[in-house]
Structure 1
Amino acid sequence: MDRKIHIIGSGFSALAASCYMAKEGYKVTVLEKNNTLGGRARQYKKDGFTFDLGPSWYWMPDVFERFFADFGKKPSDYYTLDKLNPGYEVYFGENSSLKISENLDDIYKMFEQEEKGSAKHLQTFLDSAKANYETAILDLVYKPGVSPLELVNTTTIARVTQFFSTIRKQVRKNIKSPKLIQILEFPVLFLGAKPNNTPAFYNFMNYADFGLGTWHPRGGMYKVIEAMVSLATSLGVNFKVNANVKKIITNKNKTVSGLLVNGQEIKTNLVLSGADYHHTETLLDESLRQYSASYWSKKTFAPSSLLFYVGFDKKIENVSHHTLFFDSDFDAHAKEIYDNPKWPTDPLFYANFTSITDKTSAPQGKEAGFFLIPIAPGIEDTEELREAYFHKILDRFEKLTNQEVKKYVIFKKSFCVKDFEQEYNSYKGNAYGMANTLLQTAFLRPKIKSSKVNNLYFTGQLTVPGPGVPPALISGKIASELIIKKQH
């Protein structure tokens, strides 16, 4: 067997897979359509400011450690991590915010101050979350999603009821404070679904939050991409940027025989796509696509986002590195994303200011601001709408944090639905992939191995295990393991 593989895309899952395949002795070529590596995790630099264009949260440090350990390395061989304290801050209204400490005892105290008796309930909840985390991370999420039997073992059988209850029911059973409820329901947003549609088993995200903490790689999340590229290069991976794959060529035996890249045919008999799954299938003849247009249209997708990267000519006050603005109705905003897709009337939003922690991301005395509004995928996207929402959230930001910021804007760059489609071929311009609802978990997600084309595989946020950076690293590992197993 010719041990060559072409990988489409260079996001976290594709880079992880490239390392595992190269380690196994494959000659690996990574094809990236854009002019820099990293997929959605690219970087934007302007006038001495540096922004991560995509992922900005570093959670589950153990998953990163496990990835590098597979190659005899440690994250610290490549980048320096700082644990954030507070991990993040949440605004609920003017002069009303709560900070999530890096210390679990402090979190218990904060809960108890906010609602008498809640610390005891939080402790029980986190005991369950930790047990689920260990079950998930040590076992379940490293399964390839081939069979329902992957989910069946003595540990999961004992937790089966948690797959049929929801995070919302579990959180609200004992906690009554609206603020504490929002803090506990927030982490599942990383899974791309509403708390009332997310199985209670996924409370392991709360352990990732309170138990493992929030971290920041000095220099930004792009340092992780640079680390993975460095590791891959040392293993012999070949990278090609500005390499736009327009067609996956197959022979009469329904086997991959080549790729059409920038108008030229490259011969290959093994392809792994870390690009958008739906888009990748459009590169095949229609008869060779596993999933129809109606299949995709019926799926619950994670939100898209309206993002702003802003350089400020002052230091921003009364905020933390990660700051969430939950001063509007969470359920109303969620309905306008999932149930009745439209531009949100009064959106929740998130801001991060890496330059509070990391002096490399802005010139002295200035601040780098990243703002994110979750929105429905596939909705209208115009410059006028972007501008209107920029003013809408900055007006609220000024009021909530009690300071003027608009007049200190040096520049801003926006990124929204059209950009996700154009830059990443993202289905309906979604930002995070397919939501982890009960009917879109594990073996119920699109398959890693194509059922119609021999030697075509998929990795990333639309297949197993799901959205997020740590799951992307895991997806790259399980996809490469499945390929190696099938090829031998």
Structure 2
Amino acid sequence: MSKSIAIIGSGFSSLAAACYLAQNGNTVEIFEKNDSLGGRARRFKEKGFTFDMGPSWYWMPDVFERFFADFGKKPSDFYELDKLDPGYQVIFEGGETIEIGDSLDKIYKIFDKEEENGAKKLKKFIDNARDNYDIAIKDLVYKPGVSPLELVTPKTITKLGEFFSTVDKDVEKEFKSEKLKQILKFPVLFLGAKPSETPSFYNFMNYADFGLGTWHPKGGFHEVIAAMVKLAKSLGVKVNTNANIDKIEVKNNTATALEVNGETLNFDTILSGADYHHTETLLDQKHRQYSEAYWNKKVFAPSSLLFYIGFDKKLKNIKHHNLFFDVDFNEHAKDIYTTPKWPDEPLFYANFTSITDPSTAPEGHENGFFLVPIAPGIEDTEELRGEYFNKIMTRFESLTEQSVQKNIIFKRSFCVNDFVEDYNSYKGNAYGMANTLLQTAFLRPKLKSKKVNNLYFTGQLTVPGPGVPPALISGKLVSELIEKN
């Protein structure tokens, strides 16, 4: 039977759910508090530069293909994809670089160059990662997290030990080169936790990286959002911006309405793709599932200090994606997870889409996106932002052997306070709740409220976890739960 469904937020999970629910004949309406769509994947343009505000790594292309195929479409119906070669480069102390090419053969050669039998070791590691990817995508991530039995399949039973070891242990056991170890531990940071806290099974992210490659949607990552909005509207979804939700109204333990900009609007079902913790604050206390103590105990993915920068010249010695691992990886991780504070010497990441996609900057210019991962909930001031900007730009100039600061013609920063202000993000986290052993699958906050009928959740704080592909899957999973009820 057709339902009227309100969806809070317009990120990947919300848009995915909207498409599935509308396809099934429901009346679907999205409410986005900001003036543009996409949630963390918003875009802005300034002085001829185009900046993606959030996600910039297009990994796991098969998940995007599967999403669009559910509607008889392909990604290429909406946007053009380029496979990057190299996918990214890693810059170490002294400016030494390692490029991760666009094929396993190229990457095997790099590993052999860095370490005796490096290719042989990597092949064994990647073969296991490929098996895990297959199991994860086919058996696990498309499950709604309602029961521990979802994790029990003939294939997962053979992998049981990998849920009790860690990525860190596996990498340390196999490889000697510190550089290669850092490269292999890097992909799990997308899952929001230290490699030493991430179950070995999640090494499938290494297959996503090396085996499936890194891609770029022409025009920027927001083109994926634009595609999903176009699809949603074609299915009849109504979209509202500047629509702030003040309250979720509950009668007889059933969600019945939203208060939007002071106006009460009635719906059969309410789905929130906004921050889970924030969504529960829109309910009276007695209707909330999780206490403040519960949220405070959880391991959250990092927040970020971001800089969007326009340069009036082309830069040298950089690639589309660049990881600056010239300082201690473990010390920075401690400053995020163990004793949360601003890092003394931060690792950082920078991308320049204009290198491979000239449409994102004026001719002869470069657009830069710089990211420093930091602990959620720490102090955020303009002074600290300025201090860290100087730190990373000084290192950037030294490591890439060029002067760039005097060539900056546009700069904007975004940090903890902005994540809270723009996305109602718990403690200003950027990626949601980490995928540690005790925060996996059925141990994550539920897609369906346990206390309020017809109230559902989707996104990076619930199942299956942080990242863009999991957000697409989360939208599908919650739409299936809604259809069952």
With the shorter chain as reference, the TM-score category is: over 0.9
Asked if the contact 2:337–2:375 (Cα under 8 Å) also holds between the matched residues in 1, the reply is yes
Aligned to 2:53: 53
Residues 97-108 of structure 1: pairs in structure 2 closer than 5 A: 97-108=97-108
- For residues 46 and 337 of structure 2, the distance between their equivalents in structure 1, rounded to whole angstroms, comes to 35
> Which residue identity lines up with residue 397 of structure 1 in the other structure?
F
> Which residue identity lines up with residue 53 of structure 2 in the other structure?
L
Q: 2:71 matched to 1:66?
A: no
Q: Indicate the SS of the match to 1:34.
A: coil
Deviation at 1:2, TM superposition (A): 5.5
Residues 406-425 of structure 1: pairs in structure 2 closer than 5 A: 406-425=405-424
- For residues 218 and 128 of structure 2, the distance between their equivalents in structure 1, rounded to whole angstroms, comes to 32
Q: Point out where structure 1 has 5 or more consecutive residues left out of the alignment.
A: none
Aligned to 2:156: 156
Asked if the contact 2:2–2:27 (Cα under 8 Å) also holds between the matched residues in 1, the reply is no
Aligned to 1:139: 139
- For residues 438 and 463 of structure 1, the distance between their equivalents in structure 2, rounded to whole angstroms, comes to 14
Deviations 1:192-221 (A, max 9, x none): 000000000000000000000000000000
Q: Indicate the SS of the match to 2:418.
A: helix
Asked if the contact 1:13–1:460 (Cα under 8 Å) also holds between the matched residues in 2, the reply is yes
Deviation at 1:269, TM superposition (A): 2.4
- For residues 419 and 185 of structure 1, the distance between their equivalents in structure 2, rounded to whole angstroms, comes to 29
Q: 2:334 matched to 1:349?
A: no
- Normalising by structure 1, what TM-score? 0.99
**Stretch moving more, 13-22 or 116-125:** 116-125
Residues 209-220 of structure 1: pairs in structure 2 closer than 5 A: 209-220=209-220
CA RMSD of aligned residues (A): 0.6
Aligned to 2:278: 279
Aligned to 1:298: 297
Aligned to 1:122: 122
Deviation at 1:94, TM superposition (A): 2.1
Deviation at 1:364, TM superposition (A): 0.6
Residues 174-213 of structure 1: pairs in structure 2 closer than 5 A: 174-213=174-213
Asked if the contact 1:250–1:256 (Cα under 8 Å) also holds between the matched residues in 2, the reply is yes
Aligned length: 485
Deviations 1:335-391 (A, max 9, x none): 111111111100000000000000000001100000000000000000010011001
Aligned to 1:433: 432
> Which residue identity lines up with residue 314 of structure 1 in the other structure?
K
> Which residue identity lines up with residue 440 of structure 2 in the other structure?
T
Deviations 1:39-97 (A, max 9, x none): 11000110100000010000000000000000000000000000000000000122301
Asked if the contact 1:255–1:269 (Cα under 8 Å) also holds between the matched residues in 2, the reply is no
Residues 14-33 of structure 1: pairs in structure 2 closer than 5 A: 14-33=14-33
- For residues 174 and 279 of structure 1, the distance between their equivalents in structure 2, rounded to whole angstroms, comes to 42
> Which residue identity lines up with residue 367 of structure 1 in the other structure?
E
> Which residue identity lines up with residue 404 of structure 2 in the other structure?
V
Deviations 1:124-182 (A, max 9, x none): 00000000000001120000000000000100000000000000111111101000000
- For residues 124 and 4 of structure 2, the distance between their equivalents in structure 1, rounded to whole angstroms, comes to 50
Asked if the contact 2:310–2:411 (Cα under 8 Å) also holds between the matched residues in 1, the reply is yes
Aligned to 2:330: 331
Aligned to 1:449: 448
Deviation at 1:257, TM superposition (A): 1.3
- For residues 199 and 435 of structure 2, the distance between their equivalents in structure 1, rounded to whole angstroms, comes to 8
Q: Indicate the SS of the match to 1:481.
A: helix
Deviations 1:378-418 (A, max 9, x none): 00000010011001000000011111011111110000000
- For residues 218 and 250 of structure 1, the distance between their equivalents in structure 2, rounded to whole angstroms, comes to 44
> Which residue identity lines up with residue 217 of structure 2 in the other structure?
P
Asked if the contact 2:306–2:414 (Cα under 8 Å) also holds between the matched residues in 1, the reply is yes
Q: Indicate the SS of the match to 2:174.
A: coil
- For residues 395 and 71 of structure 2, the distance between their equivalents in structure 1, rounded to whole angstroms, comes to 47
Aligned to 1:82: 82
Q: Indicate the SS of the match to 2:317.
A: coil
Asked if the contact 1:352–1:371 (Cα under 8 Å) also holds between the matched residues in 2, the reply is yes
- For residues 450 and 10 of structure 2, the distance between their equivalents in structure 1, rounded to whole angstroms, comes to 24
Deviation at 1:14, TM superposition (A): 0.1
- For residues 382 and 111 of structure 2, the distance between their equivalents in structure 1, rounded to whole angstroms, comes to 42
> Which residue identity lines up with residue 159 of structure 2 in the other structure?
R
- For residues 324 and 210 of structure 2, the distance between their equivalents in structure 1, rounded to whole angstroms, comes to 19
Asked if the contact 1:308–1:370 (Cα under 8 Å) also holds between the matched residues in 2, the reply is yes
- For residues 41 and 300 of structure 2, the distance between their equivalents in structure 1, rounded to whole angstroms, comes to 19
> Which residue identity lines up with residue 347 of structure 1 in the other structure?
P
- For residues 277 and 168 of structure 2, the distance between their equivalents in structure 1, rounded to whole angstroms, comes to 30
- For residues 4 and 78 of structure 1, the distance between their equivalents in structure 2, rounded to whole angstroms, comes to 28
Aligned to 1:309: 308
Aligned to 2:44: 44
Deviation at 1:98, TM superposition (A): 0.2
- For residues 243 and 357 of structure 1, the distance between their equivalents in structure 2, rounded to whole angstroms, comes to 36
- For residues 385 and 124 of structure 1, the distance between their equivalents in structure 2, rounded to whole angstroms, comes to 44
Q: Indicate the SS of the match to 2:92.
A: strand
Asked if the contact 1:94–1:401 (Cα under 8 Å) also holds between the matched residues in 2, the reply is no
- For residues 47 and 258 of structure 2, the distance between their equivalents in structure 1, rounded to whole angstroms, comes to 39
Asked if the contact 2:30–2:239 (Cα under 8 Å) also holds between the matched residues in 1, the reply is yes
Moved over 6 A (4+): none
Q: Indicate the SS of the match to 1:173.
A: helix
- For residues 321 and 477 of structure 1, the distance between their equivalents in structure 2, rounded to whole angstroms, comes to 31
Deviations 1:262-306 (A, max 9, x none): 001111120000000000000000011000000000000000000
Deviation at 1:463, TM superposition (A): 0.1
Aligned to 2:370: 371
- For residues 335 and 141 of structure 1, the distance between their equivalents in structure 2, rounded to whole angstroms, comes to 29
- For residues 485 and 152 of structure 1, the distance between their equivalents in structure 2, rounded to whole angstroms, comes to 23
- For residues 95 and 48 of structure 2, the distance between their equivalents in structure 1, rounded to whole angstroms, comes to 32
> Which residue identity lines up with residue 61 of structure 1 in the other structure?
P
- For residues 105 and 32 of structure 1, the distance between their equivalents in structure 2, rounded to whole angstroms, comes to 45
Aligned to 1:261: 260
- For residues 364 and 418 of structure 1, the distance between their equivalents in structure 2, rounded to whole angstroms, comes to 34
- For residues 95 and 267 of structure 1, the distance between their equivalents in structure 2, rounded to whole angstroms, comes to 59
> Which residue identity lines up with residue 23 of structure 1 in the other structure?
Q
Asked if the contact 2:15–2:228 (Cα under 8 Å) also holds between the matched residues in 1, the reply is yes
